[in-house]
Structure 1
Amino acid sequence: MVVLNKIYTKTGDHGETALGNGARVAKHALRVTTYGTSDELNSFVGVARLEAPAEMDAALARIQNDLFDLGADMCTPDMHKDAEREYPPLRMAPEQVTRLESEIDAMNAKLEPLRSFILPGGSALAAQLHVCRTVARRAERLAVELATVESVNPDAVKYLNRLSDWFFVAARIANNDGKDDVLWVPGANR
């Protein structure tokens, strides 16, 4: 259990922060930027929840919890040392990816196939979900970049990839099951 008696610690006053394994790194380190972006995404999900109907709100609540799991995973490097640790760190699991896939399939079954790219927008909820989608894509790009230089849980990367797809399909659901999607018209303003 986490106990936060004091919010400020002053330990980051010189531009460093602690990772889950206790190592101190620069606050601008790629690993910190990666899990910081998932935290940013979590905040945008919280904003989207303000507009979401009950069923989607429940799914977004699960996603917010998953994003904390993802942050815990990403803030603890050296996956190859997990078995040696007294308390194994929390890691994203394949089941979290599978759940997103099932939810995407269920939502997508309600939609007509796309015949055009769509512009982010439509309803307020759809617009917010598109912001979530693009921040999820940025988090995924950062995680993939991090994986080129450090160990990263492949399930964390898969989760971010599916999550951006989830937000895309959810945005279509929020646009009256795709009927109010804003279609891209190539070259419309030439």
Structure 2
Amino acid sequence: MVVLSKIYTKTGDSGETALGNGARVPKHSPRVAAYGTVDETNATIGLARLHATGDMDQALARISNDLFDLGADLCRPDMARDHEAGYVPLRMLESQVLRLEAEIDAMNANLTPLRSFILPGGSALSAHLHLCRTICRRAERLAVELATIEPVNPAAVKYLNRLSDWFFVAGRIANNDGKDDVLWVPGLTR
């Protein structure tokens, strides 16, 4: 369990932060950028949830929790040395990726196939889900970049990739099952 009795510690005043294994790194390090952008994605889920109800709200709440797990995974390097931690570090699992895929398939089953790209908008919930999608894509790009220089759990990267797709399909669901999607019209304003 996490206990936060004091919010400011002053340990980051020099521009460094601690990773999950205790190592100190610059706050601008690729690893911090990756899990920081996962946190940003999660904050936008909070905005989306202001407009969500029922199953959509429950799914977003679960994904929000998953993103804390993902941040915990990304903030702990040295996956090969997990056994030395004295506990099992939290890592994303392939089953979490598969759950997103199943949810995407279920949501997409009732949607009319797209004949155009979609512009963000329609309902407030859809617009917020598209914002979640674009920030999630940035988190994915940063995690992929990090993986070129340091070990990263492949399931974490896959989860981000599927999650952005989940947000896209959920955005269509939030637009009256795609009936109120705002479609791109190429060259409309020429």
Q: TM-score scaled to structure 2, two decimals?
A: 0.99
Aligned counterparts of 1:104 and 1:110: Cα–Cα separation in 2? 11
Match of 2:85 in 1: 85
Correspondences of 1:164-175 after superposition (within 5 Å): 164-175=164-175
Shift of 1:82: 1.1
Counterparts of 1:57-136 in structure 2, within 5 Å, are: 57-136=57-136
The amino acid across from 1:138 in the alignment is R
Gaps of 5+ in 2: none
Partner of 2:141: 141
* Correspondence for 1:14: 14
Please provide the CA RMSD for this pair: 0.6
Would you say how many aligned residue pairs link Structure 1 and Structure 2?
A: 190
Question: 2:175 & 2:53 partners in 1: Cα distance?
Answer: 12
User: Structure 2: how far apart are the matches of 1:87 and 1:162?
Assistant: 28
**1:110-136 deviation line (CA, Å, top 9, x unaligned):** 100001111011100000000000000
* Map 1:48-63 → 2, pairs under 5 A: 48-63=48-63
Task: Work out the CA distance in 1 between the residues paired with 2:54 and 2:9.
Answer: 38
| Matches of 2:85 and 2:111, distance apart in 1 | 46
Letter in 2 for 1:111: L
1:152, distance to aligned residue in structure 2 (A): 0.1
TM-score normalized by the length of structure 1? 0.99
